[in-house]
């Protein structure tokens, strides 16, 4: 299991680095106040209006980095800071979350695929590693352990697939956000550069998670192949 801990440690350190950079970027761009004076909530609402979306509400939620779009009740949920602040970081996050609302309205295929995977992944992600560890333990005593291990790997693989399906969803939402902000002249050149950099680092958190999940999956598969 040493390989598992090495992969986990490497991914953890990389995740900490990206997370630290993300926080520092958002702190930096929170100091760039928008010349147009609009809050994150106002930017989100205007982007929805400009795209002809009238059935989505923009609401404020507690916490930090809690921003998300909820397709089940069609709400753009913005953290209190993003909702009320008037800076480049808030503009970036607000527009990004509306990007997801636009994906939903336009039936973006990757978002639809991710939504279909949610019920499966919500269960698989909770139990896959327990099943894998149980399979490894049982494999030493009987062939049944290899079957249990394979089931666990398939469950873990569902989570890895979800992580990679999430990538185009997140990158596309950022692209939609940045394109709208630029086309509608919502931000100055400095503000737009800040919003773009902030979203770039936010996307990297998903990239690191996907790579880490894939590396772990490959490791588990290698264990299974050696035990066959």
Report the catalytic residues: 97
Contact yes or no for 169/110 (Cβ under 8 A): yes
57-61 sheet: strands from edge to edge = 57-61, 75-79, 68-70
User: Which residues face 79 on adjacent strands?
Assistant: 61
69: enclosing H helix or E strand: strand 68-70
Contact yes or no for 196/178 (Cβ under 8 A): yes
Q: Classify strands 68-70 and 75-79 as parallel, antiparallel or unpaired.
A: antiparallel
Separation between Cα atoms, residue 217 and residue 219, nearest integer Å? 5
Extract the tokens encoding 129.
Answer: 């590693």
Sequential DSSP letters for 11-58: HHHHHHHHHHHHHHHHHHHTTSB-TT---HHHHHHHHHHHTT--S-EE
Token pair 């099943």 in the structure block, residue: 131
Extract the tokens encoding 155.
Answer: 């469950």
Contact yes or no for 88/32 (Cβ under 8 A): yes
Q: Find, among 214, 109, 89, the residue nearest to 169 by Cα.
A: 109
């Amino acid at each position: 299991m040493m390989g598992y801990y090495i992969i986990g440690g490497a991914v953890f350190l990389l995740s900490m680095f990206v997370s630290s950079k993300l926080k520092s970027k958002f702190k930096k761009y929170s100091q760039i106040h928008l010349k147009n004076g609009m809050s994150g909530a106002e930017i989100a609402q205007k982007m929805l209006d400009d795209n002809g979306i009238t059935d989505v509400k923009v609401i404020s939620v507690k916490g930090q980095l809690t921003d998300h779009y909820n397709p089940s009740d069609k709400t753009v949920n913005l953290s209190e800071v993003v909702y009320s602040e008037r800076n480049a970081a808030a503009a970036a996050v607000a527009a990004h979350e509306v990007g997801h609302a636009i994906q939903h309205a336009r039936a973006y295929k990757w978002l639809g695929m991710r939504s279909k995977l949610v019920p499966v992944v919500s269960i698989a992600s909770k139990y896959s590693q327990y099943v894998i560890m149980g399979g490894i333990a049982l494999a030493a005593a009987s062939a049944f352990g290899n079957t249990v291990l394979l089931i666990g790997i398939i469950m873990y693989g569902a989570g890895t697939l979800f992580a990679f399906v999430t990538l185009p969803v997140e990158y596309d939402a950022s692209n939609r956000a940045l394109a709208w902000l630029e086309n509608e002249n919502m931000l100055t050149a400095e503000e737009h550069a800040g919003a773009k950099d902030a979203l770039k680092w936010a996307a990297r958190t998903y990239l690191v998670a996907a790579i880490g999940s894939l590396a772990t999956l490959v490791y588990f598969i290698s264990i299974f192949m050696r035990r066959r």
